[in-house]
């Protein structure tokens, strides 16, 4: 199977790239870099991008560069689901290059 990739270099909101993600493209937002987060309990987690994932809704298909863009993506997904009478179970997770979730209580260590 051919995997098409779109580089989304200036789309901080994720709005521009979402249609590509929805139709099966591999979307990479901006330059991948190391993101370091310190949790409330002092645990340090390191990843390269954020993903919106849910056990029912799955992964949104976008590697978000910022937490803010991922939150907006989850909000859009929730809004779209509510219009159809449902809800979205997607949450924002920090992931490493391989798509492995880092530090999330429910999805830690899972690969999206
Ligand atoms: Zn997303």
Number of domains in the chain: 1
Asked if residue 42 is part of any domain, the answer here is: yes
Q: How far is the CA of 70 from the centre of ligand 1 (A)?
A: 5
Q: What pLDDT was estimated at residue 12? A: 63
Q: What pLDDT was estimated at residue 31? A: 62
pLDDT by 10-residue block (mean), the chain, 112 residues: 76 79 83 80 91 94 92 96 96 93 90 86
Q: What pLDDT was estimated at residue 7? A: 80
- In terms of residue numbers, what domain contains 72? 5-102
Asked if residue 108 is part of any domain, the answer here is: no
What is each CA distance from 47 to 25, 33, 82, in whole angstroms?
22, 8, 31
Q: How far is the CA of 26 from the centre of ligand 1 (A)?
A: 12
Q: What pLDDT was estimated at residue 83? A: 97
> pTM of the entire structure?
0.72
Instruction: Look up tokens 């979205």; give the residue.
Output: 88
Q: What pLDDT was estimated at residue 55? A: 92
Asked if residue 80 is part of any domain, the answer here is: yes
Q: How far is the CA of 77 from the centre of ligand 1 (A)?
A: 8
Q: What pLDDT was estimated at residue 101? A: 95
């Amino acid at each position: 199977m051919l995997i098409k990739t779109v580089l989304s270099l200036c789309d901080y909101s994720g709005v521009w790239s979402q249609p590509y993600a929805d139709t099966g493209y591999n979307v990479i937002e901006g330059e991948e870099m190391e993101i370091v987060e310190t949790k409330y309990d002092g645990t340090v987690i390191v990843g390269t991008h954020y993903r919106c994932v849910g056990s029912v809704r799955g992964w949104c298909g976008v590697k978000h560069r910022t937490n803010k863009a991922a939150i907006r993506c989850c909000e859009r997904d929730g809004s779209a689901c509510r219009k159809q009478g449902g809800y979205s179970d997607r949450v924002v997770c920090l992931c490493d290059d391989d798509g492995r979730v880092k530090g999330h209580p429910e999805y830690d260590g899972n690969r999206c």
